[in-house]
Structure 1
Amino acid sequence: MRLRERTPPPWSPSACLPSFADDARYHIKIDNDGDGTADVTYTWRFRNEVRDAANQFLYNTGPATSLTDPNLNFRQVYDLTVTEGGRSKVVRSNVPVAPSRVGPASMPNYGALRAQAVGDLPGGGKTFAGQADDPFFADLRVFDLLYGGNLSERGQDTLAGYNVDSVALQIPKKQLALKGSAARNPVIGVWSTTERKGVQVADSRTRHDTWRQVSRLGNPLVNEVVVPLKYKDAFNTLNPDQDRTVKPVVDKVYDPILPKLIQKVYGVPAPATPRDDLAEIYLTGLCKACGPIKADLNAHRLNKDASLQRIVPAEELRLNMAVPPAARPQRLGVLAGDLAGFPNGRRLTDDVIDISLQAVEGAAQTGKLVPALADGDKVDANDVPFGGSFPYLALPHTKSVNGRSGGDHVQRSALTTSHAAGIGVLGSLMLGVGGR
């Protein structure tokens, strides 16, 4: 699942358009018992506030130094709701969104301004919503027949200079773990969804507005690379507990498309099928009893209070919260022996393009990188450093990118999560788990 909504550069004439859709619901969902359904859900609803819509066209009418500055003509606020056990509770209301970064004249100290949008949560934790540098780094020419068909198109961070609208959470582990015990039950599954109102016509006289799920993301690159074109929209509407019932999607986990393309373009033999190793990564989590990858890492069945009868194969990003942060994180995560990295959660610095490319070629099962593709896309880090404190995302850019006039700003929901330093990211949705 990936939600892409183009928003104008902050200096454009239409800059008063909202950063987040006020007619949508954004969710981060946590499955702590492995049944493919959410046990804890965090939901954002945004509202727009325009001070003077009749006589102004500007985002701000003078320098803004605070989130309540009267010079801010357009503001957004949100309510954050937690749903657990079928009961929903608003934990924060009217929380201000960090404004989009217009430029130094309008926002002379944007770092201080954005910091004001970090709020505390009851019981510990923090929340944030606002614009940030796009933390995803990759050479997207991978889609040009895998880097040009001869590995000539590599080394350019295609997303450098772009911004995303992001929501972030930092949550104590006990609030996410099964039965509130991260010590006994450290494994969780995480995914994000977005819902919009749709119209159903029951007959010529009756119309019903209902919330409909329009996007979903667990592991990165699943909908983009694993799921065939025909089923992408359907996948976006599913709950993870339904995944095992959609045979064409499950079949492409066990018999993936990408290795065949790599063999065709570069002559690297595709690993033998069925791909039980990929089923572990995408559908069950890694454990010795789950499949060929002989490591007890992040399968729900590792939770001491887990009921094996309830656990189902489901596409979720799984995280073992008991794995300590790495002193020196490796960009290739688990493939480099760093068990705190992807596919055990996903940190900002994890090179998911290179990891995923090696994983589909069997590296997670053999323990060896495929030499012909060892350099991946040659984009190994973000274009700017990440922050050292929550929300960890780098400040947004104000210049256009790639030599184009008015580089587009992109809102993207690409789920990642990690416990390292309390960080986790969902591309534009972000979850971090702290202590306790």
Structure 2
Amino acid sequence: MLQRPRRRPAFAATAALAAVACVASLAPAVSSASSHREAPLVAGEPQLDNTDVYAFVSPDAPDTVTMIANWVPFEEPNGGPNFYPFADDAAYDINIDNDGDARPDLTYRWTFDDSYRNPNTFLYNTGVVTSLDDPDLNFRQTYRLEAITETGRTTLISNGKVAPSRVGPASMPDYGTLSNAAITNLPGGGRTFAGQGDDPFFIDLHIFDMLYGGDLSEVGQDTVRGYNTNTIAIQVPKKALAVKGDAARNPVVGVWSTTSRRRIDVVNAQNERIRTGPFQQVSRLGMPLVNEVVIPVGRKDEFNATAPRNDAKFGQFVTNPEVPRLVEAIYKIPAPATPRQDLAEVFLTGLCKACGPVAVDLNSQRLNKDVDPAAFVPSEQLRLNMSIPPAATPNPLGVLGGDNAGFPNGRRLADDVTDATLRVAEGVLLPNHPAAVDTLGDKVDANALMFRGTFPYVALPNNVAVNQS
């Protein structure tokens, strides 16, 4: 278990009161719905926008790892008539680096095709839909799933079926059955899913209204509640991810998702978009919150196009972060001294005794027995130690709550990454940090819907209008 360092006594009364106030108001200063609309380019193209990435040892199948990536933020459930398809001219990737060289050793890639049974109607469905093959399901998507390594690529699924957007109870009276029908087995073990789900992230976003109305009157509301996202999930045996297929000797992997699109985009006289050429990466997400508030606005699109092996050019924004300076200016909580090697360890190397000041071996690829430490490259990834079993009673604060099976050792759906990241940014892992840092948060501590107990775990998509939920 990660032990937090000793801290100095609490502030004097006035400082403590200020810290209590910021418990409800500071968290969104370091997050804006994870990676929802975080960069100028993808904010205008939501089909390409990664929102969140999760990686965890599967609680009901502990010999496997589940990885989940979401796209298309803020899907209002009643968004017809076109609803929310995946882009058919993009590559949706989940990347795995198991040796720490900041290059993907394995990439799972989904590419999508769509079709209409009847293009001479405006309807998404022309009647009650009871199966993925139902003739009344007018709009359909399928996908190809490939596994890409340095030796080539293998097609795992050539015609996978996507769960449709949830139109409503009259059109899809048993949506759970439709969603489960989109779970597809993989050759060699494992399974995958593509379709709509409830957005599992939870946070209060009223920070943008003068820091919660200027008087803390706007706090504690999950402003992502009721919205959906498009989910891609995959569950595979641990050996599929580990160096040399040996998860006992090499249990740590790094995970991030990317979206790429064709470089050439032409709109013809019929207003059809024709995209050709090689793929160009346009969105990227590993650890939550990085592109929102660590990377400055002028370089967010650049970060989204950058491979992890080139992250050194962004290192200054991790070791000299802006958020603690803002917190100190507004709420008088002293910013930790820079350079912040504790943040570099959490976000760029993973935690290990040889990596930085947080002296614990937890989730750096340098812990793998068959990895060359000299080839290790610091980079932004979501790192998971697959040898740590699922917690019997998960703590939403993960490692900060004494639960090493949770964030930042991977990320589970129920992990409260907003509160955890805020506290880490404010120095909770450093010795002599202010006592108030231990309780910072946004007063939104759980998702509004219960998650499924089995793969793909995300809750079914909402079908009630957000302004009614």
Give the TM-score category using the shorter length: 0.7 to 0.9
User: Structure 2: which amino acid aligns with 1:277?
Assistant: D
- Residues of 2 paired with 1:369 and 1:333: CA distance? 20
- Residues of 2 paired with 1:113 and 1:29: CA distance? 28
Map of 1:287 onto structure 2:
352
Map of 1:377 onto structure 2:
442
Is 2:96 the partner of 1:30?
Answer: yes
Q: Secondary structure at the match of 2:291?
A: helix
User: Structure 1: which amino acid aligns with 2:179?
Assistant: R
Map of 1:343 onto structure 2:
408
- Do the aligned residues in 2 keep the contact of 1:59 with 1:74 (CA within 8 Å)? yes
Map of 1:50 onto structure 2:
116
Is 2:377 the partner of 1:312?
Answer: yes
Q: Secondary structure at the match of 2:429?
A: helix
Q: Which gives a bigger RCO, structure 1 or 2 (Cα 8 Å, sep 6+)?
A: 2
Map of 2:307 onto structure 1:
239
Map of 2:428 onto structure 1:
363
Deviation for aligned residue 1:198: 1.3
Map of 2:396 onto structure 1:
331
Deviation for aligned residue 1:85: 2.3
Judge which range, 365-374 or 387-396, deviates more.
365-374
- Residues of 1 paired with 2:77 and 2:398: CA distance? 36
Q: Deviations over 1:88-119 (max 9, x none)?
A: 11101111100111111111111111110001
- Do the aligned residues in 1 keep the contact of 2:190 with 2:234 (CA within 8 Å)? yes
Map of 2:361 onto structure 1:
296
- Do the aligned residues in 2 keep the contact of 1:137 with 1:382 (CA within 8 Å)? yes
Deviation for aligned residue 1:84: 1.4
CA gap of 1:122–1:368, structure 2 versus 1, over 3 A, is farther
Q: Deviations over 1:345-366 (max 9, x none)?
A: 0000100110110000111234
- Do the aligned residues in 1 keep the contact of 2:78 with 2:465 (CA within 8 Å)? no
Q: Secondary structure at the match of 1:264?
A: helix
Structure 2: gaps (5+ residues) = 1-34, 48-71, 267-274
Q: Secondary structure at the match of 2:292?
A: helix
Q: Secondary structure at the match of 2:370?
A: coil
Q: Secondary structure at the match of 2:374?
A: coil
- Residues of 1 paired with 2:79 and 2:402: CA distance? 46
Superposed, 1:169-188 pairs within 5 Å as 169-188=234-253
- Residues of 1 paired with 2:409 and 2:203: CA distance? 20
Map of 2:287 onto structure 1:
219
User: Structure 2: which amino acid aligns with 1:128?
Assistant: F
Map of 1:41 onto structure 2:
107
1:191 to 234, 256, 270: 256
Map of 2:30 onto structure 1:
none
- Residues of 1 paired with 2:234 and 2:437: CA distance? 39
2:169 to 104, 111, 114: 104
- Do the aligned residues in 2 keep the contact of 1:192 with 1:218 (CA within 8 Å)? yes
- Do the aligned residues in 2 keep the contact of 1:358 with 1:369 (CA within 8 Å)? no
Q: Deviations over 1:11-41 (max 9, x none)?
A: 55532x6510001100000000000000000
- Residues of 2 paired with 1:148 and 1:289: CA distance? 45
- Residues of 2 paired with 1:353 and 1:10: CA distance? 25
Map of 1:14 onto structure 2:
81
Deviation for aligned residue 1:222: 0.2
- Residues of 1 paired with 2:309 and 2:438: CA distance? 34
- Residues of 2 paired with 1:200 and 1:111: CA distance? 37
- Do the aligned residues in 2 keep the contact of 1:33 with 1:188 (CA within 8 Å)? yes
CA gap of 1:150–1:276, structure 2 versus 1, over 3 A, is farther
Map of 1:94 onto structure 2:
159
Deviation for aligned residue 1:210: 2.4
Q: Deviations over 1:320-366 (max 9, x none)?
A: 00011111111111111111111110000100110110000111234
Map of 2:418 onto structure 1:
353
CA gap of 1:337–1:373, structure 2 versus 1, over 3 A, is closer
User: Structure 1: which amino acid aligns with 2:304?
Assistant: N
- Do the aligned residues in 2 keep the contact of 1:18 with 1:76 (CA within 8 Å)? no
TM-score with structure 1 length normalisation? 0.86
- Do the aligned residues in 2 keep the contact of 1:386 with 1:394 (CA within 8 Å)? yes
- Residues of 1 paired with 2:321 and 2:300: CA distance? 15
CA gap of 1:208–1:389, structure 2 versus 1, over 3 A, is closer
- Residues of 2 paired with 1:92 and 1:402: CA distance? 39
- Residues of 1 paired with 2:150 and 2:174: CA distance? 43
CA gap of 1:195–1:336, structure 2 versus 1, over 3 A, is same
Q: Secondary structure at the match of 1:402?
A: helix
- Residues of 2 paired with 1:125 and 1:395: CA distance? 21
- Residues of 1 paired with 2:263 and 2:342: CA distance? 38
Q: Secondary structure at the match of 2:189?
A: coil
Map of 2:457 onto structure 1:
392
Judge which range, 139-148 or 355-364, deviates more.
139-148
Map of 1:126 onto structure 2:
191
- Do the aligned residues in 1 keep the contact of 2:262 with 2:276 (CA within 8 Å)? no
User: Structure 1: which amino acid aligns with 2:407?
Assistant: F
Deviation for aligned residue 1:368: 6.6
- Residues of 2 paired with 1:369 and 1:60: CA distance? 57
TM-score with structure 2 length normalisation? 0.80
Judge which range, 284-293 or 17-26, deviates more.
17-26
Q: How many residues align?
A: 394
Q: Secondary structure at the match of 2:142?
A: strand
1:210 to 278, 295, 298: 278
Deviation for aligned residue 1:317: 0.7
Deviation for aligned residue 1:140: 1.4
- Do the aligned residues in 2 keep the contact of 1:13 with 1:57 (CA within 8 Å)? no
User: Structure 1: which amino acid aligns with 2:201?
Assistant: F
Superposed, 1:412-423 pairs within 5 Å as none
State the identity %: 56
Deviation for aligned residue 1:288: 0.9
Q: Secondary structure at the match of 1:194?
A: strand
